[in-house]
Amino acid sequence: MRILVQRVESAFVRFQDGGETPRSNAGLLALVGFRQGDTEALLEPMAKKLVELRVFSDDAGKMNRSLADTTGDLVLVSQFTLYADCRKGRRPSFSEALDPVQAERLYARFVEICGHQARVVASGRFGAMMSVHLVNDGPVTLLLDSGELGMAPNAPAV
């Protein structure tokens, strides 16, 4: 499981049909992707890691506060392209990405779990064409990978 995290001043998602999610205030935008072999066992620890990641400044200006500490907003967007393999040729391969049926189930459950730990303002639509709008704060952009975090022992490092 991978999560590309961006600290934002604001964010929202616009759908191809013209609808859009509520607009967030300061918080995090998280692009979430699943790979083959990922299971529901990853969801709780990855949600906790995301919500408790200390990326917000304290009074001394150090990144020492988490989303939970700031009561910031969280926008979640499914993103299978986080598992693109670009090593060969010019066209990315997505063979490592989890199949859509399983990924949609895991994503829905991840949104639910995050909702118990943080204020989830919005979630993109799984499999939909979307445009993600954000004002990156910092900019601060981080990649959480369950394999690198020791949560999936057989997953290769990025």
Flag whether pLDDT at 55 surpasses 90.
yes
Residue 157 lies in a domain: no
Active site residue 80: yes
Residue 150 lies in a domain: no
Residue 81 annotated in active site? yes
CA distance 28 to 64: 15
**Would 17 be classed as within a structural domain?**
yes
Confidence category of residue 18, pLDDT binned at 50, 70, 90:
confident
- How far is 50 from 72, CA to CA, in rounded Å? 12
Contacts of 66 (CB under 8 A, 6+ apart): 51, 52, 53, 54, 55, 56
For residue 7, being part of any structural domain is answered with yes
Q: Is residue 151 part of a domain?
A: no
Identify the pLDDT of residue 152: 59
Looking at the 3D structure of the chain, how many domains does it have?
1
Q: Tell me the CA end-to-end span of the chain in Å, nearest whole number.
A: 11
Give me the chain's average pLDDT, please.
92
Q: Which residues pair with 7 in a beta bridge?
A: 28, 140
**Can you give the CATH number for the domain in which 30 is found?**
3.50.80.10
pLDDT at 113 (0 to 100): 96
Candidate list 79, 94, 117, 126, residue with the active-site label: 79
Q: Answer for the pair 36, 98: CB distance below 8 angstroms, yes or no.
A: yes
Residue 152 lies inside a defined structural domain of this protein:
no
Candidate list 21, 81, 94, 102, residue with the active-site label: 81
Residue 62 pLDDT exceeds 80: yes
Supply the range of the domain harboring residue 57: 2-145
Q: What is the mean pLDDT of residues 81-96?
A: 93
Residues of the chain with pLDDT > 70, as a percent, come to: 96
**Residue 153: pLDDT over 80:** no
* Residue 155 counted as domain residue: no
Which pLDDT value is given to residue 157? 43
Report if residue 76 sits inside a domain: yes
Catalytic site residue from 12, 34, 56, 80: 80
Torsion angle in degrees (nearest 10) through CA of 5, 124, 133, 95: 60
> Which pLDDT tens digit goes with each residue over 109-130?
999 999 999 988 899 999 889 9
How would you classify residue 13: left for phi > 0, otherwise alpha for psi between -120 and 50, otherwise beta? beta
